[in-house]
């Protein structure tokens, strides 16, 4: 089985796992949650629930009664002869004057799950299979934000130096220190503090719900290219606006000295 809750995971396996083993955590929210699919709002609810299928981030589950569209069950998940969940397809007709319909098979319906009220039928719409998600009037990206995670960004005049393969590639007396729950401190430096001769533009783009869309640079030292070692945000989210245009190196892959003292490389999934 793929990692529980991963995008593209086998939905029948996921549903069976959650029904048998429960969720990591659930939390109701009073936020208005809206979902757009095929250019139509198919969910508009203030009764969504954040469900942690794994430890990393939550998914939104919405009440079946608040979902618009044609649901068709494709596979039942039964425990002891009782249907506890079902994988389904969702078909949504086009808007007025438009001919196209759209269908997704990334839907699971639950007859109650974890500590949720078993009388409430909840639906899991895979985040990436929908067109747009909104919390109140704010678009959200990648996945639902974890309310237990926060970002603090603090300016610091402590001297910082970054070395790659023993060569200094960045040095500054100013940086923004970004503290994100569960991750190592990230040090954002002015682009002008980096040796421009070692930078090579990468085509990689990644997205983060807390910081925005990141672009990357490779680093080339003595002809050896280390890919996607540096990232930056041109237009970060409001909460991360302080690091706009600044660059950050993977602590896990470079050597960083702060205040003249070498920092230990953290061990994370990015290392």
Per-residue pLDDT tens digits for 40-74: 999 999 999 999 999 999 999 999 999 999 999 99
- Predicted pLDDT at 79: 80
Is residue 87 in a domain? yes
Is residue 216 in a domain? yes
pLDDT band at 229 (very low <50, low <70, confident <90, very high): very high
Are 155 and 89 contained in the same domain?
A: no
Q: Which residue, of 140, 173, 198, is where some domain finishes? A: 140
Are 190 and 134 contained in the same domain?
A: no
Structural domain count, the chain = 2
Would you call 194 helix, strand, or coil by DSSP? Answer: strand
pLDDT surpassing 90 at residue 75: yes
Torsion of CA 179, 180, 186, 189, to 10 degrees: -70
Is residue 268 in a domain? no
Model confidence, pTM: 0.85
Q: Can you name the residues that pair with 138 across neighbouring β-strands?
A: 135
pLDDT surpassing 90 at residue 5: no
Residues 6+ apart with CB under 8 A from 170: 160, 161, 162, 189, 193, 194, 195, 247, 249
Q: Which residues of 121-159 are buried (b: 16+ CB within 10 A; e: fewer)?
A: bbbbbbbeebeebbbeeeebbbbbbbeeeebebeeeeee
Are 123 and 194 contained in the same domain?
A: no
Are 106 and 157 contained in the same domain?
A: no
- Predicted pLDDT at 117: 53
Are 95 and 201 contained in the same domain?
A: no
Are 119 and 81 contained in the same domain?
A: yes
Give the residue numbers spanning the domain of 208.
151-262
pLDDT surpassing 50 at residue 237: yes
Q: Can you name the residues that pair with 162 across neighbouring β-strands?
A: 170, 256
Are 43 and 18 contained in the same domain?
A: yes
Question: Which segment of 1-5, 34-38, 217-221, 233-237 scores lowest on mean pLDDT?
Answer: 1-5
């Amino acid at each position: 089985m793929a990692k529980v809750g991963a995008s593209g995971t086998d939905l029948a396996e996921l549903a069976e796992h959650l029904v048998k083993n429960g969720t990591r955590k659930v939390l109701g929210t009073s936020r208005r949650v809206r979902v757009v699919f095929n250019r139509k709002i198919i969910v508009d609810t203030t009764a969504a629930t954040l469900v942690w299928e794994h430890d990393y981030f939550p998914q939104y589950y919405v009440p079946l009664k608040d979902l618009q569209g044609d649901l068709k069950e494709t596979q039942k998940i039964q425990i002891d002869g009782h249907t506890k969940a079902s994988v389904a397809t969702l078909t949504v007709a086009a808007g007025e004057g438009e001919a196209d319909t759209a269908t997704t098979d990334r839907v699971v319906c639950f007859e109650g799950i974890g500590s949720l009220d078993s009388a409430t039928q909840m639906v899991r719409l895979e985040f990436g299979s929908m067109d747009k998600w909104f919390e109140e009037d704010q678009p959200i990206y990648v996945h639902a934000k974890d309310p237990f995670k926060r970002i603090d960004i603090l300016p610091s005049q402590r001297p910082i130096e970054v070395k790659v393969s023993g060569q200094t590639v960045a040095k500054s007396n100013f940086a923004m220190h970004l503290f994100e729950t569960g991750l190592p401190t990230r040090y954002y430096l002015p682009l002008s503090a980096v040796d421009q001769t070692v930078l090579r533009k990468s085509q990689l783009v990644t997205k983060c719900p807390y910081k925005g869309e990141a672009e990357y640079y490779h680093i080339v030292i003595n002809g050896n290219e280390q890919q996607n070692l540096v990232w930056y945000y041109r237009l970060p989210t409001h909460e991360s606006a302080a690091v706009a245009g600044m660059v950050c190196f993977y602590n896990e892959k470079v050597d960083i000295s702060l205040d003249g003292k070498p920092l230990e490389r953290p061990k994370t999934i990015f290392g």
